[in-house]
Amino acid sequence: MTDGSNPNDADERVLARSRFREALIRPELGGIAGIILVFIFFLLTARDSGMFGPAGVMNWSIVSAQFAIIAVGACLLMIAGEFDLSVGSMIGFAGISIAILSVHLGWPMWMAIIATFIICVALGGVNGWLVIKTGLPSFIVTLAFLYILRGLTIFAAIATTRKTIIGGVREQAEGDWLASLFGGKVLTGVFQWMGDAGWIETFSRGTREGQPVVDGIPMLIVWAIALVIFGHFLLTRTKFGNWIFASGGDAQSARYTGVPVNRVKVLMFMFTAFCATVFATCQVMEFGSAGADRGLLKEFEAIISVVIGGALLTGGYGSVIGAALGALIFGVVQQGLFFAGVESSLFRVFLGVILLLAVILNTYIRRMITGEK
C-alpha cells in the first residue's frame, strides 16, 4: 500500500536543494550581490551627476583596476593559505626604485623597469622562503617586511636625492618601448572616431576642442583585465590551480599526495610582488613621479577585495573573479561617494562594514562546506 506520492518528486526536491546549496557556496556570490546593490544605490542617488557618463565610468574603472591588480595576487596567495601585508610597502619601494634607477642614475627606462621587477619578485620570494623555513605565520613575516621595505624606501630616496618624492619620470620615459606598456593608452583611434560621430562627448573649447573626453583605455585597465583572466585561468583550468587550492585547504594532506606545497606558496608570494610592481609602474608612469609614501594601506584594501569576493581567511577557497568584483565594488563606491556629494571619509566606514559582513557570510559558507555547527 502506498501513499500515492511519486518517488521522483522527492528526488527533484533533493536535486533542487543541492543546486541551491551549490549556488549558495559559490565564492562569487557575495561579490555579485554586492555589485548589484552598489549599482542600484548609485543609479538612484548619483544618476544625474555624470557618474555613468563616459568620463565618470572611466574614473571608477581606473580606481577599480588599481584594486583589481593587487587583489589578483592577494587572492591566489590567500587561497594558498597565506597573507602578504607588505604589498603596500612593495608598491612604494618599486616606484622609488624605478625613479632612482632612471632619473638619478640615468638608466634607460626599460632597464630600470626590468631591474625593479627582478628585485621586487626576488623580495617576494624571500618573503615566501622565510615563511616556509621559519614556520612563522606569514602575517608576522610580511608585517616585518612592511616596515623594512617602507624604511628602506624612505632611506634610499633621501640618501640619493634628498627628497621623498622624485619627479622627472615622465620625461625619462618618453619614447621608451617598455614604459608605453604601463603608461600609454589603447584604442585611441576608436574613441576619436566615436567622438567625431557624436557617440561620446568631446571638448567644445580650448586646445583640446574636438577631442573626446575619454580618448582611450589606460594600460592600467588593460593590465587589470589581463591579470584577472590569467589568474582565473591558472586557478580553474590548470593542475597548478588545483595545487593552490590543496596547499591552502590542507597542506599536510596535499604533501602526502605529491603536491609541492612549499614551491606553490613561494611562487604565490612572488606573484603577489609581481602584481604590486605592475601597480607601482603604472602609477609612476601616470603621475610622472614616485613617492616613498605611495601604496599606504593598499595591502588591506587588496585583502578586503578578496574577502568580499568570497575567499576564506583560512585558505583553500576563493575566486579570482570574485576578487575582481570586490575591487569593482571598491572603485564604484569610492568614486560614487564623490559624485553623490557624500563626505569621502565615509569610504573608510564602508570598508569596515563591508569587511565585517563579508567575514560573517564567509564563516557561514565555511560551516556549510565543512558541516561545522
How is 51-81 classified by DSSP, letter by letter? TTSHHHHHHHHHHHHHHHHHHHHHHHHHHTT
2-11, 28-37, 207-216, 317-326: least confident range? 2-11
- Let me know if 10 is exposed, middle or buried by CB neighbors in 10 A (0-12, 13-18, 19+): exposed
- Let me know if 262 is exposed, middle or buried by CB neighbors in 10 A (0-12, 13-18, 19+): middle
| Nearest C-alpha neighbor of 27 from the set 353, 371, 369 | 369
Res. 297 pLDDT band, cuts 50 70 90: confident
* Greatest mean pLDDT range, 281-285, 305-309, 350-354: 281-285
> Considering the chain, what is the average pLDDT of its residues?
87
What b/e sequence results for 73-109 when a residue is b if at least 16 CB atoms lie within 10 Å of its CB, and e otherwise?
bbbbbbbbbbbbbbbbbbbbbbbbbbbbbbbbeebbb
Rounded Cα distance, 269 and 223, in Å: 19
Residue 218: phi and psi, rounded to 5, are -60, 150
Task: Tell me what pLDDT residue 308 has.
Answer: 86
What count of Cα atoms within 13 Å lies in the side-chain half-sphere of residue 78? 28
Q: What is the mean predicted confidence (pLDDT) over 291-310?
A: 90
pLDDT > 90 fraction of the chain, expressed in percent and rounded: 58
Task: Return the H-helix or E-strand segment holding 309.
Answer: none
Rounded Cα distance, 113 and 184, in Å: 15
With 50 as the cut, is the pLDDT of residue 64 above it?
Answer: yes
pTM: 0.90
With 70 as the cut, is the pLDDT of residue 284 above it?
Answer: yes
The SS3 of residue 212 is strand
Largest CA distance in the chain: 93
Torsion of CA 158, 159, 160, 166, to 10 degrees: -10
Q: What is the mean predicted confidence (pLDDT) over 24-30?
A: 69
Rounded Cα distance, 229 and 316, in Å: 20
What b/e sequence results for 129-143 when a residue is b if at least 16 CB atoms lie within 10 Å of its CB, and e otherwise?
bbbbeeeeebeebbb
Residues with Cβ within 8 Å of residue 146, at least 6 apart in sequence = 85, 86, 88, 89, 299
Say how far residue 42 (Cα) sits from the centre of its chain: 22
For 108-144, how does the pLDDT look when each residue is reduced to its tens digit (9 = 90+)? 999 999 999 999 999 999 999 999 999 999 999 999 9
Task: Return the H-helix or E-strand segment holding 260.
Answer: none
With 50 as the cut, is the pLDDT of residue 14 above it?
Answer: no
Task: Tell me what pLDDT residue 1 has.
Answer: 47
Domains and CATH numbers, the chain: 28-370 (1.10.3470)
Q: What is the mean predicted confidence (pLDDT) over 337-349?
A: 79
Sign of the Cα torsion 267, 230, 282, 180 reads positive
Which residue spans within the chain are E strands per DSSP? 165-166, 185-186, 217-218, 290-291
Res. 196 pLDDT band, cuts 50 70 90: confident
Stronger pLDDT, 200 or 223, i.e. the higher one: 223
- Let me know if 174 is exposed, middle or buried by CB neighbors in 10 A (0-12, 13-18, 19+): exposed
